[in-house]
Structure 1
Amino acid sequence: MPNPHRAPETKVAKPETHEERAAAAEFLAAFESYKEANETRLAEIERRGADPLTAEKMARIDAALDAHQARLDALATKARRPALGGAPERSASEAAHAGAFDAYVRHGEAGGLKAMEAKALTAGTGADGGYLVPFEAEVEIGRRLAVLSPVRALASVRTIGAGTYRKPFMTSGPVAGWAAETAARPQTDSPVLAELAFPAMELYAMPAATTALLEDARVNVEEWLAGEVEQSFASQEGTAFVSGDGVGKPTGFLSYTKAAESAWSWGKVGVIATGAAGAFPSATPADPLIDLVYALKAPYRQNATFLMNRRTQAAARKLKDENGNYLWAPPPGAGQSASLMGFPVAESEDMPDIAADAHAIAFGDFRRFYLVVDRAGVRVLRDPYSAKPYVLFYTTKRVGGGVQDFDAAKLLKFAA
């Protein structure tokens, strides 16, 4: 069996701060303890069966690894979240829009935004639908979502101005053939085109603020709004990109028709079975992962990533290759990914747990596999009446998504 290990393709950057260096060192030390405890567990199983105390120790170290990973992720998120105050200097129209939006959020004065709407129909949407946030705030919300939403961070993202993005593709290319120098050239068939449609659905959040907060001139209302909606938007769209049914929300890649890799065809997501219901096979647990990796064609495999939840990742930490090397490796620093068989691992809690017939691991080039569609514009409607003394901000953005290349990723199914 070939050794599937290879060096990660991304460059390893040193953690920049003392806190990041300390967190990375603690993570590496915890993983070394984890490997020692797992070796003890395996030796006990071979002798007389696993000791419950060893299993309990393993569980504690596993939880500690998750905590260290969460800390590293939090540091990376913090480092990649610049304040809106550091944005490039605004043009006169952008500054006017920002000032009018600030007055609307703080005091409910919509006159400035209404005047801009009358002057340029792209500035606002009217009192019933709310008003567009300033461009910098919209960009910042998108940036924060990319940090928090695992699939968005991996997928292609396209901004559109219409309600639906349509992407043509060829189901069969132009027919070609060979001919002798003086032989006749019969007419060939033309390419056959089909179309993928990605409608943008409405995603909303409703953060609340006190009057005192809005009256505080030191509070950057654009940054406050971005911070309030990021978690809600990221959670909702993260679930939809994985398992959404396409009704009022994007279609998640687990909702498409699936087929065994041997019977795969366009329009279906290919599946590799582990050979054991709800588990990795006991004799050769690493084999299904090797099959999954090499089910992907080479052009996709070069930029591929594993996607799974933390409980599945905990199971993958125990796996070894035929030489006794662990397949999973911790991230080398803050902002970097753990790796499995040399490929990055992304964590999504929306992926299912390991269970009978569960598609708990996805592997592929997600930038070519999944497309996220953002309709330009984040809108805010101020509501000071529904939850007095609080002011609600009904914030909406339109998001769509779906598979754009069915050959670019495969799923691992825990089934016989």
Structure 2
Amino acid sequence: MTLDIRSAASPETKALAPEAGLTHEALMRAHEAFKETNDLRLVADERRAADVLLDDKLARINAELDAKMQRIERLAVEARRPALGLERPDKGLAACQHKAAFEAYMRSGETQGLRVLETRALSAGSGPDGGYLAPPEVETTVTQRLAAISPIRAIAGVRQVSAPSFKRPFAKTGPAFGWVGETASRTTTDSPVLAEQVFPAMELYAMPAATQTLIDDAAVDLEQWIASEVETVFAEQEGKAFVSGDGTNKPTGFLTQTLVANASWEWGKIGFTVSGAAAAFATANPADRLFDLIYALKAGFRQNGRFVMNRKTQAEVRKFKDESGAYVWQPPAQAGGEASLFTFPVTEAEDMPDIAANATPIAFGDFRRGYLVVDRLGLRILRDPYSAKPYVLFYTTKRVGGGVADYDAIKLMKIAAS
């Protein structure tokens, strides 16, 4: 089936819950306690009188900070979730018919309504072997929730295509140039070197199961149920692939590209700076290494730059101070906001590696320009009442691809002495 589904207008979302404000206040108090405890720890270290109790207290506060941050993020995600299954007067007759026919297919396996609609649309029906496309509201809602749950999708560039892949021409080099006098002859400049990037859309699937009793219950919103069942698993799998996917039947992650010291950077590779120690950050002025990473990025990308790291790495970075003694990591200025590092926002992605020798636990860059997510239009669902009786399986597939779009827009920090 090749029914073309366009993105629907974004449904209204809920206001941020009052609990978010209270959690944010608790986060700010925990951050102040963290700074006080870490200052005491640093004084003890300078006196070479390490205090195990201080270390334990700092670890507990760090865990509390992480829990508060995650709670605020969950509340923000819930506030961004649009309601499903609501009849809107602006949907149009065709959309309402598609919704009703799709619900009939989900509940009883009746396909006649969908086939009639496809015939009207001059589309070739795929029948039970290929499944049927979900209504636009379901597809749009799943994609919106993926953007909220999958950290890389939320910060990357996103393109929707109706073909199996997205092809993007780009210029690896600009035209040659030179200075000449007013009457001097001009030589013909070289043409730019053009190349083509291809981002194939790979198939991602989930197979939620339900009993026939649940399906027959008219109070159950099947669209909302399908969306809630598949959104988390889709977000987890694609989020991991965007970071470290090998490109085999999945997107290509930015960490699996060829890495090279930033001084030797060239197109097709990701540049990196080093932490200053073999298996950790440099002991003296570790925050300076973050400055090196920030300024490895060109100014045009740096103005939209952000850090990407996991929770454990962020807990370590919270301890860093700048030359004036101020902590470089700051909690969100308001509920629903983002933590910052040297005023640049921080995205927490648990698929990033931990701090270890030769690992690259921190990325910094303009991910909107540096990484591209490709979505093929349509969320396809195949109803299977036979394979797992007495359960009905809903084989749900989505095609998504991804890869580095601009190798100059992302830099990494490698844990190494030099």
Q: Same fold (TM over 0.5)?
A: yes
Distance 2:252 2:363 in 1: 16
Q: Is 1:53 aligned to residue 53 of structure 2?
A: yes
Is 1:163 the counterpart of 2:154? The answer is no
Mean CA deviation greater in 35-44 or 81-90: 81-90
Give the alignment's TM-score, normalised by structure 1: 0.94
Q: CA deviation at 1:16?
A: 4.9
Match of 1:368 in 2: 369
Give the residue type in structure 2 aligned to 1:398.
R
Query: Secondary structure in 1 aligned to 2:361?
Result: strand
Question: Is 1:71–2:54 an aligned residue pair?
Answer: no
SS of residue matched to 1:265? coil
Give the match for residue 348 of structure 2: 347
How far does the alpha carbon of each residue in 1:62-110 deviate from its partner, in whole angstroms, 9 at most, with x for none? 1111111111011001100011245743111111111110001111111
Whether 1:269 aligns to 2:242 is no
| Alpha-carbon distance in 1 for matches of 2:204, 2:99 | 23
Change (3 A) 1:220 1:48: same
Secondary structure of 1:411 counterpart: strand
Distance, in Å, in 2 between the alignment partners of 1:16 and 1:118 is: 44
> Which residues of 2 match residues 12-91 of structure 1 at below 5 A?
16-86=16-86, 88=88, 89-91=90-92
Instruction: Give the superposition deviation at 1:224.
Output: 1.4
Q: Does 1:210 align with 2:211?
A: yes
Classify 1:71/1:185 alpha carbon distance in 2 versus 1 (closer, same or farther; 3 Å): same
The secondary structure found in structure 1 opposite 2:127 is coil
Q: 1:52-131 residue pairs with structure 2 within 5 A?
A: 52-86=52-86, 88=88, 89-122=90-123, 124-131=125-132
What is the CA–CA distance in structure 1 between the aligned matches of 2:91 and 2:207, rounded to whole Å?
28
The answer to whether the 8 A contact 1:20-1:333 is kept is no
Distance 1:401 1:314, change over 3 A: same
Taking only the aligned residue pairs, the percentage that are identical comes to 58
Q: 1:177: Cα distance to partner? A: 3.2
Shift of 1:333: 2.6
For residue 124 of structure 1, report the CA deviation from its aligned partner.
4.9
Preserved CA contact (<8 Å) 1:370 1:401: yes
Tell me which residue corresponds to 1:187. Answer: 188
Report the equivalent of 1:9: none
1:175 equivalenced with 2:164 (yes/no): no
Q: Match of 1:247? A: 248
After TM superposition, give the deviation of residue 180 of structure 1 in Å.
3.1
Residues in 2 aligned to 1:131 and 1:362: alpha-carbon distance in whole angstroms: 39
> How much does 1:384 deviate?
1.2
Provide the rounded CA distance (Å) in 2 between the counterparts of 1:260 and 1:116.
56
Q: Deviation string for 1:229-270 (max 9, x for gaps)?
A: 000000000000000000000000001101100100010001
Tell me which amino acid in the other structure corresponds to 1:57.
K
Tell me how far apart the structure 1 counterparts of residues 22 and 395 of structure 2 sit (CA, whole Å). Answer: 41
Q: 1:228 to 1:180 in 2, by over 3 A?
A: same
Normalising by structure 2, we get a TM-score of 0.93
1:145 match: secondary structure: helix
Paired with 1:389 and 1:403, the residues of 2 have a C-alpha distance of: 44
Partner SS state of residue 386, structure 1: coil
Distance across 2 between alignment mates of 1:123 and 1:223: 27
Counterpart residue identity of residue 211, structure 1: Q
Deviates more, 1:177-186 or 1:28-37: 177-186
1:321-354 deviation line (CA, Å, top 9, x unaligned): 1111001011123321101111100000100000
SS at match of 1:382: strand
- Structure 1 residues 147, 124: CA separation in 2 closer, same or farther (over 3 Å shift)? farther
How far apart in 2 are the matches of 1:98 and 1:50?
65
Question: CA 1:375 to 1:122, structure 2 compared with 1: closer, same or farther past 3 Å?
Answer: farther
Residue identity in the other structure for 2:365: G
Whether contact under 8 Å (2:20, 2:336) holds in the other structure is: no
State the one-letter code of the partner of 1:208: A
Q: CA RMSD in A?
A: 1.5
AA at the equivalent of 1:369: G
How far did 1:20 drift? 1.3
- The residue that corresponds to 1:287 in the other structure is 288
Residue segments in structure 1 that go unaligned for 5+ positions in a row: 1-14
Task: Note closer, same or farther for the CA distance 1:87–1:404 as it changes in structure 2 (3 Å cut).
Answer: farther
Q: Which moved more, 1:123-132 or 1:95-104?
A: 123-132
Q: Name whichever of 173-182 and 49-58 sits farther off.
A: 173-182
Instruction: Tell me, in whole angstroms, the C-alpha distance in 2 between the residues paired with 1:137 and 1:122.
Output: 20
The Cα shift of 1:214 comes to 1.4
8 Å contact from structure 2 (residues 85, 223) kept in 1: no
Give the paired residue count: 402
Give the aligned residue type for 1:280.
Answer: F
The secondary structure found in structure 2 opposite 1:393 is strand
Alpha-carbon distance between aligned partners in 1 of 2:129 and 2:71, rounded to the nearest angstrom? 42
Which residue of structure 2 lines up, in the alignment, with residue 222 of structure 1?
223
Q: Specify the alignment match of 2:381 in structure 1.
A: 380
Structure-2 separation of matches of 1:121 and 1:271: 52
Question: How many angstroms apart in 2 are the aligned matches of 1:16 and 1:84?
Answer: 18
For residues 124 and 314 of structure 1, the distance between their equivalents in structure 2, rounded to whole angstroms, comes to 52
The 1:42–1:186 alpha-carbon spacing in structure 2 relative to 1, beyond 3 Å, is: closer
